[in-house]
Amino acid sequence: MHLFDLPCLDGDGEYAGDDEFPPTSAALEFPSGLIAWGGTLRPARLIEGYRRGIFPWYSQGEPVLWWTPSPRCVLHLRDVYVSTRTRRRLRQGAFEITADSAFTEVIEGCAAPAPGRLTTWISVDMKEAYLQLFEMGVAHSVEAWQAGELAGGVYGLAIGHMFFGESMFSRKTDASKVALITLCRQLHDWRFGPVDCQVGNPHLRRMGAAEIGRAEFEALLEEYTGRPRADGPWRDSFRPDWEWSP
């Protein structure tokens, strides 16, 4: 199928249909989950897309591409694997953990070139869109600090009681891992559902992530995004001071 045979979202939020997005059943099998193209990254569209399991993913210079892959990678909060080494780092307080204290710096860190990755899908437009969501209290970051310097972090969206992970980065060993583990523990305390990791990779699988089918994932979306939770910054409500057992 040619890209332009897919539904196109126009700049105002409509495609040739009655809803913001096509039904997820219309997503392609190859490439897995591609469902639409075009349009803008306006906040209302992004929020509606995530509620339905649809997110943007494209490279600079391309039109916006919208995806809803199946199987879907999720991280069940009770299944997060904490290695002995990482548990030791947590117990010793190797990193200071904060939330929503350096969102722009975290997204910049995720977008920066890294070993084995010279380019990024986090374009200028993506940064601006997610910064708008952060200012609305929908997007959030968790930061890991060491000696007063940002060592790593993770960012994503919280809609109802569902967290949609977008990206993470490390400048120090285990920094992003510690940030993600602390985030998952806090989300568990807040009675969130599984973290949406979108597409799996070996690192996420080592941390306990698993793949589930579209029907199961969309049932989770309906259950947890439908549980209301006030938007707003996490800076004062996030609890990083967990007691980690040996």
Q: 109 and 203 share a domain?
A: yes
- pLDDT tens, position by position, 87-134: 888 888 889 999 999 999 999 999 987 665 545 678 899 999 999 999
Q: Which helix or strand (DSSP H or E) is residue 206 part of?
A: helix 202-206
Omega before residue 71 within 30° of 0, cis: yes
Classified as helix, coil or strand, 211 is: strand
pLDDT at residue 244 in the model? 56
Quick check: is 237 in a domain? no
Which residue in 3, 4, 34 sits closest to 21, CA to CA?
34
Q: In this structure, are 100 and 152 located in the same domain?
A: yes
- Domains identified in the chain, total number: 2
Residue where the block lists tokens 């199946």: 70
Structural domain including 141 reads 73-225
Task: Say which CATH number the domain at 83 has.
Answer: 3.40.630.70
Boundary-marking domain end, from 69, 85, 106: 69
For position 73, what pLDDT does the model report?
Answer: 96
Residues 110 and 187 in one domain: yes
Same domain, 126 and 173: yes
Q: What are the tokens at 145?
A: 């600090």
Do 36 and 126 share a domain, yes or no?
A: no
Q: Examine the fold and report which residue of 35, 69, 103 is the final residue of a domain before the chain moves on.
A: 69
Determine the Cα–Cα distance for residues 73 and 49; give it in Å rounded to an integer. Answer: 17
Query: Residue 21 in contact with residue 33, Cβ under 8 Å?
Result: no
> Quick check: 204 pLDDT over 60?
yes
The helix or strand, by DSSP H or E, that contains position 216, with its residue range, turns out to be helix 214-225
